[in-house]
């Protein structure tokens, strides 16, 4: 008896729900290293959520069935390092040519601009997946493109990262030592 060969569908489904989670995990491991070694206190901010409905199928098995974001979250990480406030977000791109500005929300840019205005250190850490490179992108570079996006440019070219951002080398511990860049370019004597 012959059995029909079952083939998997040739349709490829792309799931973007965890895009950036590996980068965030690496940053969280870096932050744990900083905390454990007394270097800095930097944490991932919780997203403000309003729980609306909860099902209780059993006394100890509550399940949230409906929830909404209270307010748009600002950035993912904040903390303090050498008496300086630090605030940043983690982003990833699969592009080989540019980082789309649509990956940054306007309220995040406004928040980072205000942090910088008040003396904090504001930036993005961006993973270029195609090149397996990580960059520390200062707020002033972001604003240069953000403020001019009305004129047509809707992305930051990769060359801008090579010229005006700071590459963060991936290591074992800490994974992404972004404080080294802050030491070299922001807190130099």
Whole-angstrom distance, CA of residue 130 vs CA of residue 108: 25
The answer to whether 159 is annotated as binding is no
Helix (H) or strand (E) holding 184: helix 178-185
Give the strand pairing for 155-157 and 133-138.
unpaired
Query: Rounded to the nearest 5 degrees, what angle is found at the Cα of 137, between the Cα atoms of 101 and 92?
Result: 55
The answer to whether 89 is annotated as binding is yes
Whole-angstrom distance, CA of residue 166 vs CA of residue 168: 6
Whole-angstrom distance, CA of residue 143 vs CA of residue 114: 12
The answer to whether 140 is annotated as binding is no
Helix (H) or strand (E) holding 159: helix 158-164
**First CA to last CA distance, the chain:** 81
**CA nearest 165: which of 177, 156, 174, 173?**
156
Whole-angstrom distance, CA of residue 112 vs CA of residue 78: 11
The answer to whether 13 is annotated as binding is no
Binding residues for Mg(2+): 74, 76, 89, 108
Binding residues: 74, 76, 89, 108
């Amino acid at each position: 008896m012959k059995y029909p060969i079952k083939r998997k569908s040739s349709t490829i489904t792309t799931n973007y729900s965890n895009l950036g989670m590996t980068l965030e995990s690496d940053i969280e491991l870096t932050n744990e290293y900083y905390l454990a070694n007394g270097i800095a206190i930097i944490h991932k901010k919780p997203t403000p959520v309003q729980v609306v409905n909860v099902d209780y199928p059993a006394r100890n098995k509550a399940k949230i069935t409906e929830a909404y974001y209270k307010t748009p979250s600002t950035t993912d990480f904040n903390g303090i390092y050498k008496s300086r406030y630090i605030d940043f977000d983690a982003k990833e791109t699969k592009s080989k040519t540019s980082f789309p500005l649509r990956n940054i929300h306007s309220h995040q840019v406004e928040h980072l601009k205000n942090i910088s205005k008040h003396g904090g250190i504001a930036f993005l850490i961006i993973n270029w997946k195609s090149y397996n490179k990580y960059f520390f992108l200062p707020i002033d570079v972001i604003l240069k493109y953000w403020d001019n996006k009305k004129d047509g440019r809707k992305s930051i070219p990769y060359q801008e990262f090579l010229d005006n951002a700071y590459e963060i080398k991936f290591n074992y511990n800490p994974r992404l030592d972004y404080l080294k860049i802050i030491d070299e370019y922001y807190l130099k004597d």
